[in-house]
Structure 1
């Protein structure tokens, strides 16, 4: 059986003349219907900002455990979560990662957010990356809205002042691990959409409809985009929130950094499936009414993480 490929969407077409934009929107929408993932190329995020972000993230994660722990993640301010602090829904073994969260609150000058003093360029670099990813995300949300037959600003308005999080994830060299442990066990994202700049090492795989794991191979200049559960709810399952994982490397001394950007709506947003999209998916409502805040709290509880944002 031929393995499916992940469709590629042109960002240049999404912001270009109408004919090319409509083709790009059709490719994007069909990809999220069929596989829940697409690759964006080229993208507007500066390669230099991505390079510097990985550089300063590596500097932070190279600090001692004690130094990192002083920046422990708080509900409003973002920050650091220790190795093994998160596990996927339905899994009892923690993921083999540590991470730092940058959220909208932590970017404010008056937030009092913890920023690593040992890495002075951390905050300005991550702020630029967050801002550039958010600008890109708004273009993608508008394209999704158009494909779904909604006003162009439908999803953008939901995400404005939302609880969007930039996660800097570090998967250390694995050494000895517990049986069955993975860098990230199979899971679905919680949010509207996720943007993922190319990681420093491979490992991301998605579960296809025929039950096979498909490695996601990217090159510099590409962003992987996928649907989260919240957008799946709003679309009554038209857009798929696809199971994915990060597998352990063949070489035990290979570390990995990645920077997923989880685009969230504001807490009060109603995720009840939209009537027109219920009609488009067979007329039966597949998901119960729930707010973004309630859904986020429910899912974070399932993966042993305190709410952030």
Structure 2
């Protein structure tokens, strides 16, 4: 996607303005989310060294022999931590499996934490010396940035800036290291079928290979490739539900490349920011009006909502 098209459709919002002009930042971010469910945030604070080290180790992991990678698969774990093999996950409502494999890193909890029963420990990798440290560093950087974005979202919704803080301080957030292998021949599926994310917000750094597309309200597919130094943020189903669809969770997909690019793999590192497992997703009163009545009169915990989706996408 060219930068010209990008700025006409989803105008980048500078993260540097979050502290300098919090009202302006919140309004710009909220406007983009309300119109498209997505925002492009430029001048992000995540150190390039942190990103590069995590990506280097991601490539090294997926280059390991299949038998070595499969030893890190947590059977029955719903893909929450460790390795999920190629063609195991599908988009909600789709029978065809996605052409991808991935690794999940979550939050490190202290021993005896109340969430231990529903948030499994991370899986250490023996073959790549720096893997655990580099992925942890990227996780923590994106988690911190996500907290600032939630402050802006709260402000835009007319809530106190710190409204989300106690709801996500021990959230079941996940860093997903994604590998879409080179494509041979004429596959039946696509790299990632059309779907919406389940979580609160997703932070996505730009990938070297194109393929991410967003579905517009008119039903067209818009390619998204953030410029260097920017990332894409999108609303997940949990926040859509909390806000009674004031902030929409937008459908997106990763399409297969052109014939000349099929021989190249694609790597991506989305950070799925989640609520605490026992947080009750209950419609915000300020998002209910006569024109927009409450779609979800029954509250649900974030953990129960997650389990529902894991079953729908074939991981449970």
Same fold (TM over 0.5): yes
Contact 1:172/1:254 (<8 A) preserved: yes
Gap runs ≥5 in structure 2:
113-119
Instruction: Name the residue aligned to 1:252.
Output: 262
Report the CA distance between 1:30 and its aligned residue: 0.9
In angstroms, what is the RMSD of aligned CA positions? 1.9
C-alpha distance in 2, partners of 1:91/1:206?
18
C-alpha distance in 2, partners of 1:45/1:290?
33
C-alpha distance in 2, partners of 1:21/1:258?
29
C-alpha distance in 2, partners of 1:253/1:283?
48
Counterpart of 2:231 (choices 207, 223, 227) is 223
Instruction: Name the residue aligned to 1:92.
Output: 95
Determine helix, strand or coil for the equivalent of 1:226. strand
Instruction: Name the residue aligned to 1:114.
Output: 123
Contact 1:86/1:305 (<8 A) preserved: yes
Report the CA distance between 1:126 and its aligned residue: 0.7
Check if 1:238 corresponds to 2:246: yes
Distance 1:45 1:265, change over 3 A: same
* Superposition TM-score, scaled by structure 1 size: 0.92
Counterpart of 1:300 (choices 290, 310, 314) is 310
Report the CA distance between 1:199 and its aligned residue: 1.2
Mean CA deviation greater in 268-277 or 61-70: 268-277
Equivalenced residues, count: 299
Instruction: Name the residue aligned to 1:289.
Output: 299
Q: After superposition, where does 1:69-218 map in structure 2 within 5 Å?
A: 69-73=70-74, 75=77, 78-105=81-108, 113-179=122-188, 181-218=189-226
C-alpha distance in 2, partners of 1:213/1:156?
34
Instruction: Name the residue aligned to 2:30.
Output: 29
**Once the two structures are superposed, what CA deviation does each residue of 1:224-275 show, in whole Å capped at 9, x if it has no partner?**
0000000000100000100000011112201100000000001111112111
Report the CA distance between 1:108 and its aligned residue: 5.9
Report the CA distance between 1:200 and its aligned residue: 2.2
Instruction: Name the residue aligned to 2:285.
Output: 275
Contact 1:207/1:243 (<8 A) preserved: yes
Report the CA distance between 1:210 and its aligned residue: 0.4
Determine helix, strand or coil for the equivalent of 1:154. coil
Contact 1:73/1:101 (<8 A) preserved: no
Mean CA deviation greater in 71-80 or 40-49: 71-80
